Amino acid sequence: MRLNGWIGTALFGVILATACNRGPSDTGYTGTWSRGSSTSGSTISMAKSGDRYRFFWKLTSTDGKWSVTCDKDSYCEETFEGRKSSDHRFVTRVDPASSHLLVEDAQTLYDRQGGIREQRTDVDELIVEGNGLRLLSYTIELNGTKLKRGEGPARSFEKVSNAVMEPGP
């Protein structure tokens, strides 16, 4: 069947608009996810690189006192009131038993004078659900102490884009 004139043009426009206006879809862990409150908004993003994922985090409080930015190597700095409060180095791996993504967060926490207060490592288990539009994050290890899913902190993120956000401020 051949379409001529304005019908063909209109049909082409509808197809093009549909292709261009797709919202977030199920791309597994890859993409950008967000959660927020009245005082801050937190965004995480993951990009697949070979058999690993790069993990980025951005956070800015509405009053500008608290922020987190990461570089392209998943190294992040957290600041509070203009002072560095912690460093984070994120490393990911897929759990062979569950196929869930595990995110290890090696942290250095600083006191107000800039001295090291604590070094610790926490591990979160990430689970994609809700047709790929919701990401659940369960802390399953707090500084060497193993926890069952649900015993530690849990967070929920909504997918905002299939694209990966650029690291940096």
Domain boundaries, the chain: 5-161
Residues 141 and 153: their CA atoms lie apart, in Å, by: 10
The whole-model pTM stands at: 0.82
Q: Which CATH number fits domain 5-161: 2.40.128, 2.30.30, 2.60.40, 3.40.50?
A: 2.40.128
Q: Which two tokens stand for residue 128?
A: 């994609």
Per-residue b or e along 136-153, where b marks 16 or more CB atoms closer than 10 Å to that residue's CB: bbbbbbeeeeebeeeebe
pLDDT digits (tens, 9 = 90+) for 2-34: 445 433 333 333 333 334 456 899 999 999 999
Q: How confident is the model at residue 38 (pLDDT cuts 50, 70, 90)?
A: low
Is residue 141 within 8 A of residue 5, CB to CB? The reply is: no
Token match 């993951």: residue? 46
- On whether the CB atoms of residues 20 and 13 are closer than 8 A, the answer is no
Q: What is the pLDDT of residues 93-112, one digit of tens each?
A: 999 999 999 999 999 999 99
